[in-house]
Structure 1
Amino acid sequence: MKKLLYITANTKPEETSISKTVGRRFINNFISESKNYTVEELNLYNENIPEINDRIFKGRGQLASGADYNNLSEEDKKSVDRINTLCDQFLSADTYVIAAPMWTLSYPSRLKSYLDCIMVNDKIIKISQEDVIGLLDDKIRNMVYIQSCGSVYPKIFNSKFNHAIDYFRDVFKFLGINKFEHILVEGTDPSSVGAAKAMENTQKDIENVVNKFSKDTSTV
């Protein structure tokens, strides 16, 4: 069986969160088309996401191990163990779905903390004196980023407002993800489009992305 890792970054419960609601619709659609998948969920606001410090990392991206690990405090050892767990969970997935709102033209800080945690040398990335490369090209992987935002931005200005889309596309491409898609839930504020209509408008996008991904996964 393949695995889809569904990551949410929103303080709201699903029943009041637009990004999580659309995320759930995507997951349900995807699983109905891809029977060879299981889903593992990670709610970043309900989980322990360690804060990176210089004791945990010996150098940029190098997680403490061996003697260094033994010299850590019990609290830092727990953080290292947790980072390893999060990293291994991420590595084991074939498809990633991230659902988050736009916060200050970007994304929730907990999501950045999570990415910082899993960028472990010799696991997710490879750091040498000559280069830094991503290590996720060992198998076919797909990723979709689902973002909700209050306004509707003209496409010509998307790069000025939807910074999260460009950021995650660049990061996951660097890591070796084969395919990146995004779904925008735009105009959720009542003065713009409204939550119900904004979510309804994403249905075609959900179907299109699910169709692309299910075709890919049916051949591997």
Structure 2
Amino acid sequence: MEKLLYITANTKPEETSTSKTVGRRFINNFISKVQNYTVEELDLYNENIPEINHRIFNGRGQLASGDIYNALSEEDKKSVDRINVLCDQFLNADTYVIAAPMWNLGYPSRLKSYLDCIMINDKVIKISQDDAVGLLDDKTRNMVYIQSCGEIYPKIFDSKFNHAIDYFRDVFKFLGVNKFESILVEGTDTSSVGIDKAIKDSQKDIEDVVNKFSKTSLSSSSNS
């Protein structure tokens, strides 16, 4: 079985969160059409995401281990242990789905804290004196970023307003993820669209993205 890791970054509960509502619709649609997948969920605002500090690293972004780990305080050991769990969970996934609102033209800080935790040297990335490379190219992986926002921005201004989408596309490409898709849920605060219509309008994008992954899954199965 392949694994889908569904990550949400919103303080609101699902029933009042546009990004989480659309994310749930995507997950349900995905599971109904793409076979042999299990889903693991990570709600970043209801999970322990440790704050990064210099004490828990050996150096160059490598988590403390051995004698360095043994010398840590109990609190710092718990942070290292938790980061290892988050990192292993991330590495074991085949498809990543992140649902988050646009905050101040970016994304929630909790999501950045999570990325800081899992970008571990010799596990997710490899840092050398001359280079840094992603280590997720060991198998086919997919990523979907679902973003809700209150306004509607013309496509020509995407680079000015949708920084989060560009950022996650660049980061996951660097890590070695093969396919990136995004779903924009726009106009939730406008009188012309509103939350209900924005969620309804996202259904076509959900189906389009799921169909792309479904075809990829069928192609991989036929070639195996």
Cα deviation for residue 192 of structure 1 reads: 4.4
**Which residue is equivalent to 1:56?**
56
**Which residue is equivalent to 1:84?**
84
SS, match of residue 55 in structure 2 = coil
Q: 2:78 and 2:41 mapped to 1: Cα distance?
A: 21
Cα deviation for residue 59 of structure 1 reads: 1.8
Q: 1:197 and 1:24 mapped to 2: Cα distance?
A: 16
**Which residue is equivalent to 1:18?**
18
C-alpha contact 2:144 2:180 (8 A) present in aligned 1: yes
Q: 1:77 and 1:138 mapped to 2: Cα distance?
A: 29
**Which residue is equivalent to 2:107?**
107
Task: Tell me if 1:5 matches 2:5.
Answer: yes
Q: 2:210 and 2:91 mapped to 1: Cα distance?
A: 22
Cα deviation for residue 134 of structure 1 reads: 0.1
**Which residue is equivalent to 1:187?**
187
Q: 1:58 and 1:214 mapped to 2: Cα distance?
A: 42
Q: Deviations along 1:177-202, whole A, 9 cap, x unmatched?
A: 00000000000014341001111111
- TM-score normalised by length of structure 1: 0.98
**Which residue is equivalent to 1:29?**
29
**Which residue is equivalent to 1:68?**
68
C-alpha contact 1:134 1:175 (8 A) present in aligned 2: yes
C-alpha contact 1:106 1:164 (8 A) present in aligned 2: yes
The one-letter amino acid of 1:214's match is: S
C-alpha contact 1:34 1:214 (8 A) present in aligned 2: yes
The ranges of structure 1 where at least 4 consecutive aligned residues each deviate by more than 6 angstroms after the TM superposition are: none
Matches within 5 A, 1:89-168: 89-168=89-168
Cα deviation for residue 214 of structure 1 reads: 1.3
SS, match of residue 181 in structure 2 = strand
Q: Deviations along 1:65-87, whole A, 9 cap, x unmatched?
A: 11110010000000000000000
Aligned-residue identity in percent: 82
C-alpha contact 2:86 2:118 (8 A) present in aligned 1: yes
Q: 1:57 and 1:22 mapped to 2: Cα distance?
A: 37
Cα deviation for residue 175 of structure 1 reads: 0.1
C-alpha contact 1:15 1:21 (8 A) present in aligned 2: yes
Q: Deviations along 1:151-171, whole A, 9 cap, x unmatched?
A: 000000011000000000000
Q: 1:192 and 1:164 mapped to 2: Cα distance?
A: 24
**Structure 2 stretches lacking a partner, 5+ long:** none
- TM-score normalised by length of structure 2: 0.97
Q: Deviations along 1:117-146, whole A, 9 cap, x unmatched?
A: 000111100010111000000000000000
Q: 1:9 and 1:111 mapped to 2: Cα distance?
A: 6
**Which residue is equivalent to 2:207?**
207
Of 118-127 and 190-199, deviating more is: 190-199
Q: 2:159 and 2:110 mapped to 1: Cα distance?
A: 22
**Structure 1 stretches lacking a partner, 5+ long:** none
Q: 1:178 and 1:102 mapped to 2: Cα distance?
A: 24
The one-letter amino acid of 2:94's match is: D
The one-letter amino acid of 2:86's match is: L
Q: 1:115 and 1:54 mapped to 2: Cα distance?
A: 16
SS, match of residue 219 in structure 1 = helix
**Which residue is equivalent to 2:45?**
45
The one-letter amino acid of 1:126's match is: K
